[in-house]
């Protein structure tokens, strides 16, 4: 899979099967009334974190992302948003606390500017990443510092007009893998390879066990994303929040 996803409507929150991964798209620019409702879904600690942002834009995006996360998780688990106990691992990866539910629902969240993605699955290690393609960064210097020799060669082999996109395709795929592992600081970015040619399905090239699966797509033009999870290949379904319910894209 690679390219934009087509969205269609479904009438209610879908059931999550054990052989499925669900990916949710949410826009973080919401009305003042919606933002107020989402803020009420946050814990006191999350409200304190939000208050530390200096810019209103960043504060509001945090509230929208965290409130939406709690609302979606609550839908799947049949609980209230404030009933969910979210804990954080040594590397900062969020997870539902073991005593908050009898089911093991795994999830991971990523956002870039106004776009947020949430991935969910049962009894999985999951990582997701989305980035906006930017031309105002020294991507070649970053690649030399963090990419493997093979990835650098692949990047330089691309036509010049494709190299910025290739860099961000690789970056999202590598970040999603580290987030799925949950021990990112212990895995050097140059210790494994991903492909990065625009238009090709995402895949691992070197240094990753076969238990790990990877999927890449464009959320919309200029926003590549990647999903990594462990276990057998599963059906990935894509959803987006709608005004009066949910939307689905298979």
Q: Which residues pair with residue 26 across a beta bridge?
A: 116
Cβ neighbours, 10 Å, residue 53: 14
What pLDDT was estimated at residue 3?
Answer: 65
Alpha helices in the chain (DSSP H): 32-39, 44-51, 56-77, 139-146, 149-157, 163-181
Confidence tier at 88 by pLDDT (50, 70, 90): confident
Asked if residues 228 and 126 have their Cβ atoms less than 8 Å apart, the reply is yes
Alpha helices in 81-238 (DSSP H): 139-146, 149-157, 163-181
What pLDDT was estimated at residue 9?
Answer: 54
Q: What is the dihedral of CA 118, 121, 126, 131, to 10 degrees?
A: -20
Predicted confidence (pLDDT) per residue in 204-244, tens digit = 999 999 999 999 999 989 999 999 999 999 999 999 876 54
pLDDT for residue 249 is more than 70: no
The mean of the pLDDT values for the chain is 90
Q: In terms of residues, how long is the chain? A: 250
Residues 8-27 have a mean pLDDT of 82
What pLDDT was estimated at residue 8?
Answer: 47
Torsions phi, psi for 177 (to 5 deg): -65, -45
Question: Chain centroid to CA 6: how far?
Answer: 18
Nearest to 69 by CA among 86, 93, 47: 86
pLDDT for residue 100 is more than 80: no
Measured CA to CA, the distance from residue 21 to residue 238 in angstroms comes to 9
Predicted confidence (pLDDT) per residue in 113-141, tens digit = 999 999 999 999 999 999 999 999 999 99
What pLDDT was estimated at residue 213?
Answer: 98
* DSSP labels, 5-25: PPPEEESSPPP--TTEEEEEE
For residue 177, what are its two tokens? 């893998």
Measured CA to CA, the distance from residue 139 to residue 223 in angstroms comes to 16
For residue 61, what are its two tokens? 């995006």
């Amino acid at each position: 899979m690679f390219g934009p996803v087509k969205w269609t409507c479904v009438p209610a929150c879908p059931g999550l099967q054990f052989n499925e991964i669900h990916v949710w798209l949410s826009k973080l620019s919401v009305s003042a009334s919606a933002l107020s409702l989402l803020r009420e879904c946050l814990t006191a600690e999350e409200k304190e974190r939000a208050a530390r942002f200096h810019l209103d834009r960043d504060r509001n995006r945090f509230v929208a992302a965290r409130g939406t996360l709690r609302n979606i998780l609550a839908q799947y688990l049949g609980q209230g948003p404030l009933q969910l106990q979210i804990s954080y691992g040594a590397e900062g990866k969020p997870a539902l606390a073991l005593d908050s539910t009898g089911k093991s629902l795994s999830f991971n969240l990523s956002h870039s500017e106004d776009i947020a993605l949430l991935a969910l699955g049962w009894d999985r290690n999951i990582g997701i990443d989305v980035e906006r393609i930017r031309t105002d960064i020294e991507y070649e210097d970053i690649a030399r510092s963090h990419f493997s020799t093979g990835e650098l060669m692949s990047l330089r082999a691309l036509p010049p007009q494709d190299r910025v996109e290739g860099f961000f395709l690789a970056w999202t795929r590598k970040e999603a893998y580290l987030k799925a592992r949950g021990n990112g600081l212990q895995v050097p970015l140059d210790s494994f390879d991903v492909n990065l040619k625009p238009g090709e399905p995402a895949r691992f090239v070197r240094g990753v066990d076969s238990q790990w699966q990877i999927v890449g797509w464009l959320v919309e033009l200029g926003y590549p994303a990647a999903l990594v999870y462990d276990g057998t290949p599963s059906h990935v379904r894509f959803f987006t929040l709608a005004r009066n319910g949910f939307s689905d894209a298979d």
